[in-house]
Amino acid sequence: MKIVLAAPNYPQPRGNTVTVRRIAANLEKIGVRTKIVSTTGDNQARSLPEADLVHGFHAYYFHQFLQQLEQKPDKYIVTMTGTDLNVDLFHPEKRTAVLSTLDCAEAIHVFDEAAKTTVLQEAPQFKGKIFAIAQGTSDFSPAHQSELQKEAGTFLFVLPAGIRKVKNIPFAIHALARLHEKYPNLRLWLAGPILEEAEAEIVLDLAEQHADWLTYIGEVPHAEMGTVFAHADVVLNTSHSEGQPAAILEAMGYGKPVLVSSVPGNKGMVENGRTGYLYNDENQFLDYAAELIDNSEARQRIGQQAKQYAADHHSPTLEAETLRQIYRSILE
């Protein structure tokens, strides 16, 4: 069996690239051959390689990609990854394209039951062909020597995210700037590529203003993120919208407590007070951040519970095997 995995902006260092590479690697381990192509950008494929089935990621971008193909695939499935589910499905100019793509798909894949419910509320006709499969965790090699070094005696927050507006990075900077007044040993690393120039101007200007405690470490190869997580005391996600952020799942798998915005993709992974903290506003963010700084026992307990949750509920083998079952059911 050979599957083409069609993802937007591949191989740019974004969440979709991390997801599709992980799925491809784990499918290969169980005997499914794969080929990854990009559906957008300079690397956009002009045609599809021969394969038994096409698996598209991000319903709206996949729809746009299909429109420019002379030879469209006979059968495909779609994974809804984030903005297509939380934004495009409700956007007056994109909704029709999203629903059309889902309608023609043999199967629809989402990351949790809440996402499945959202789709079915908007399009109940898809009941029976939509599957919730939790993302698998990524394997990192043991942390290796790196120029990145945490300062002795400091408390380090890490925010792993490409710089774009939806990631709401300025919120984290402004909030932690307030907290830094009380905890001068607080530090923040921003880890991720520049994806939107206008947002980067804002973020990098703030980084310069707060250079005494904030460091933009830039794009980190995914294979080296284990080193970053090893240094972190707490890992952040402040996004306005999420599908199911791989970086947060990876941090949890690394045994790190997470502090994340209370949006659907994050709420599907984090149980407030048990496997991390979910905040609704700046005051809640500050309260939870202070609790994590002050209470080492809570940090350790939450980190270990997060690690156990990731191991129990986000098996990469189960993810790949479930997808293979779906592929087989379509082809047979």
Contacts of 125 (CB under 8 A, 6+ apart): 103
Q: 23, exposed or middle or buried, with CB in 10 Å at 0-12, 13-18, 19+?
A: buried
Q: pLDDT-derived band of residue 272, with 50, 70 and 90 as boundaries?
A: very high
Q: How far apart are CA 178 and CA 155, in angstroms?
A: 15
284 to 113, 212, 290: CA distances (angstroms): 26, 25, 10
Nearest to 230 by CA among 255, 259, 258: 255
pLDDT for 139 beyond 80: no
Question: pTM here?
Answer: 0.81
Report residue 174's pLDDT band, with 50, 70 and 90 as the boundaries.
very high
pLDDT in tens, 51-64: 999 999 999 999 99
Residue 52 CB neighbours (<10 A) = 16
- Give Cβ neighbours of residue 93 (< 8 Å, ≥ 6 apart): none
Contact predicate 315/136, CB 8 Å: yes
pLDDT in tens, 8-47: 999 988 888 989 999 999 999 999 999 999 999 989 999 9
Q: Tell me the helices (H) and strands (E) count for the chain, helix number first.
A: 13, 12
